[in-house]
Every structure is written in structure tokens, then in C-alpha cells.
Amino acid sequence: MNSEPDSDPCERLFVALALPEPVREELASLAGPVPGVFWTRKDQLHVTLRFLGDVPAGQAERIDEKLAQIRVEPFLLPVEGLGVFPPKGPPRVLWAGVGTGHPRLYQLRQRLDDALLSAGLDLDVRSFQPHVTLARCSERASEFVSAWLRSHRGLSAPPFRVEAFDLCSSVLRPSGAEHSLKRRYRLDPPGP
């Protein structure tokens, strides 16, 4: 057994779009007393572009270099629609959607995946369903979530301009995950 300390510590990382304060306010206002539903704190609301998992420090540096090279034009993103994951069976996650998104959102996701693959990451191939996680649900939430969804089905928060994406770290705590910004990458049109 090797007793040397780990020479390349890992950090739990993900790439996300930050939400402006008016959008976070609107989404946080949906939180209410629903049995078995554990609401995401307002300051933690975001759109996840890609969850990376535990990444060794050396690989995180390569990821940072690759992400800094991504070029996509800024775009507007709506916040509309509510749903649950999984779509069938007991709900585990309550989410707000981004409508049909924007073509540049999917372009950003593709360039992000290309950059991460070139940095040596293995990526899952599940389809991209952009959303904001509003809450996590326990088994006892099932009977209450349907009523909550019906009463909030008209959700439409203000659209927001996406001008950057973020590399964030996530630390799991008993009270839930705590996210912190590691680096923000500005969106710029591709060069000539």
C-alpha cells in the first residue's frame, strides 16, 4: 500500500451559466412549503452546461486552457417551463427550463464538449437538457409535486443575455452542495 499523500488532489467541477439577480429572484420566489421538497438556495441557481466530476489539479489546468479558447457570440436565453427528472416515476429533481433554448446555447455546449475532450476528459453521452435545478425531492414529495407544477405552470421569468460561462467547483456538505466560481470566460464572436 502506498502511504504517500496524493500528489494530484481532485476537485469536483462543473461548467455553468450564471443567472442574473432578477431571474434568480423570480425562480427563488417559487420556493414554498412543499413536503419532501428541498429548495436550491437562490445564490446557487444556475444552468449546468456540463458536470465534470472529480478532476485532478493537473487536468483542471488543461481544462482551463481549453475553455479559454472557446468563441461563441453572446445570446439571449429565456427561462420558461417547469418539469421533473426523471420524467416518469417518483420525481427526484424539480427544474425550470430554458424553453427551446437558443442555437448558440447548443453551439456553446458542442464547443465546450470539444474543448473538454481535447483536455482528456471522458464525457457521458446523455442528451443535453438545459435547465435550472430548483429543488431536490424525497420520495414523500411525489404526491405534492404534481399540484405544485399545476399551480406554477405559467412560469416565465425574464430572458437574460448570456455573455459568459463559468467553471465552478462544488463541495458536498450535509446542507447540500456549495458552489463557488473558479473562473469566468467571456463569450466573444469567433475571429475572422
Residues known to be catalytic = 46, 131
Rounded CA-CA distance 68/30 in Å is 35
98 secondary structure, DSSP code: B
* 164 in Cβ contact with 81 (< 8 Å): no
Chain centroid to CA 51: 8
To the nearest 10 degrees (0 to 180), the angle between helices 57-67 and 103-118 is 140
* 19 in Cβ contact with 27 (< 8 Å): yes
Element of type H or E holding 151: helix 142-151
Rounded CA-CA distance 59/127 in Å is 24
Residue pointed to by grid coordinates 437538457:
129
Rounded CA-CA distance 180/168 in Å is 5
Q: Which candidate, 98, 74, 76, 94, places its Cα nearest to that of 84?
A: 94
